[in-house]
Homo-oligomer: A and B are copies of this chain.
C-alpha cells in the first residue's frame, strides 16, 4: 500500500487508518522518515557510567552501540563490523577496553577507528574502515541519537529550554536501579498514542493514587462526578506552585509539538495524596534525594519527546521510558528507574517499592495497546473521533503526519 496517499488523506481529529498500524510499507517508511532522521531518545548517561562501558540499542533492523570513550565522551556507532558485517557487540551491556568483533577479531578503538585487523591486505585503506558514527547528544544526562547525516538543528533549542527544568534533578549523578523491557504487541504509534492521554486512566487504579487523571483535560472535560476530585487537584496544584517557586524550579508549561522536527513537551505536575513520588504510598521511594533537594514533595517534572519517550523526574528518582519499534506489530517498551548514585538498595530504597506503580501501569497499557492492535486489524475498523481530552494524541499524530508528508516522496 503506497504510503503517500495515506498520509495525505489523513482526517484530523480521527484515529489513523488501519494500514498505519498494519502495513509493512508504512512501517518501513516510519523507520526511514521518522526514526532514521529525527533525534531518538535512547537512554541516559548512567547507562555507560565509566570509560569502556557500552550499551546496545536498536530499532527495526538497526543496532547501535553507545560507548563511553577513554576520554569520558559518550559516542554512538553502528554495531556492524566493517569486514564482513558481523554484529560486533552481542550482549546488551558490558565494558571493554576496545570493541572487538568476535568473528575475525577486528578491533576498534572506543572512539571508532579500526586499530587491529590481522591479515588485512596492505592495499586496503584501514583509515576508511572505522566504525560508522551515529550522532549522539546528551541533554542534562538524557541521551539522544540521530542516524541522519545532518540531524535536525533544533535539538539545541530543545536543550536550551529543557536544561533549566532538568538540571536540578541532577541526572548525571544518578545510577540505574532497575531496567524493565516489555514487548508490546502493537505498532509503535499505538504505544505512543496510549501514553498521550489519560482518558483511559480508569484502567490504572494504582497510578491514580498519585497521578491526577486530568492530564490534557480542560476544565470543560471534568465530569460532574469528578467535581470534588478536581477541586482537590486545583488546590494541590496551587500549593505546588508555591513550593516550586520557593525551590526555584521552573514550572511553566512548554509545548513545542508542531512545525518542528525536534518536538517536545515539558510540564511540572502536582501529585495526589502525599504527592512525593510514584510509589504505592505516594511517599518517596529513596531516602537519598536527587541533586540538592531537601523537600521530598516536589511533584513530577514530565518531559515528553517525539517520537519516542516520556520521562518523570521526581525529588528522589526518575523514570525514563523509551519505545523502540521492533516490527510493524511489536514495540519494545523500555523503562529505567534512576536513583541517586550513592543511594543504597535495601537501605535507602526498596526496588519493589520503587518500581511497582509503573510496572503495573506498563502491564495495563500493554494490554490496552494489544486490544487496539487486534481491533484495528479487523477489516471492519474505521477511524473514530478523538475526544477533547485526547488532544495530545491528536498533536502527536499531527506531528507524525507532518513529518511523514515532508519526508515521503509523493507516490
* Interface residue ranges, A against B (CB under 8 Å): 15, 18, 36, 60-63, 78-88, 90, 102-105, 117-121, 124, 129, 132, 193, 199-200, 202-203, 221, 223, 367-368, 371-372, 374-390
Which of B117, B121, B221, B368 sits near A388, CB closer than 8 Å?
B121
* CB pair A371 B63 closer than 8 Å: no
Verify B87–A374 contact, CB threshold 8 A: yes
Find A79's partner among B105, B378, B388 (CB 8 Å cutoff).
B378
The contact of A203 among B85, B103, B132, by CB within 8 Å, is B103
Which residues from B are CB-within-8-Å of A223? 118-119
User: In the complex the two chains form, is B88's CB within 8 Å of A379's CB?
Assistant: no
Q: Is the CB of B78 within 8 A of A378?
A: yes
> Is the contact region of chain A dominated by helix, strand, or loop, or is it mixed?
loop
Given the complex, which residues of B lie within 8 Å of A380, measured CB to CB? 62, 78, 80, 132
Q: Do the beta carbons of A85 and B385 come within 8 Å of each other?
A: no
| A to B CB contacts below 8 Å, 6 in the list | A61-B379, A86-B375, A102-B203, A103-B371, A119-B389, A120-B387
**For residue A120, which residues in chain B have a CB less than 8 angstroms away from its CB?**
385, 387
Given contacts A80-B378, A203-B103, contact A15 B85 (CB under 8 A): yes
Q: How far does the Cβ of A204 sit from chain B's closest Cβ, in whole Å?
A: 12
Whether A121 pairs with B387 at a CB distance below 8 angstroms is yes
In the complex formed, the residue of B with least CB distance to A202 is B105
Q: How long is the Cα–Cα vector from A104 to B86 in the complex, in angstroms?
A: 46
The closest CB in chain B to the CB of A217 belongs to: B119
Known: A80-B378, A85-B376. A385 touches B121 (CB 8 A): yes
Min distance, Cβ A367 to any Cβ of chain B, angstroms: 8
Is B118 a contact partner of A62 (Cβ separation < 8 A)?
no
- Cα distance A385–B15 when bound, in Å? 49
Q: Could you say which residues of chain B place their CB within 8 Å of the CB of A367?
A: 102
User: How many Å from the CB of A261 to the closest CB on chain B?
Assistant: 20
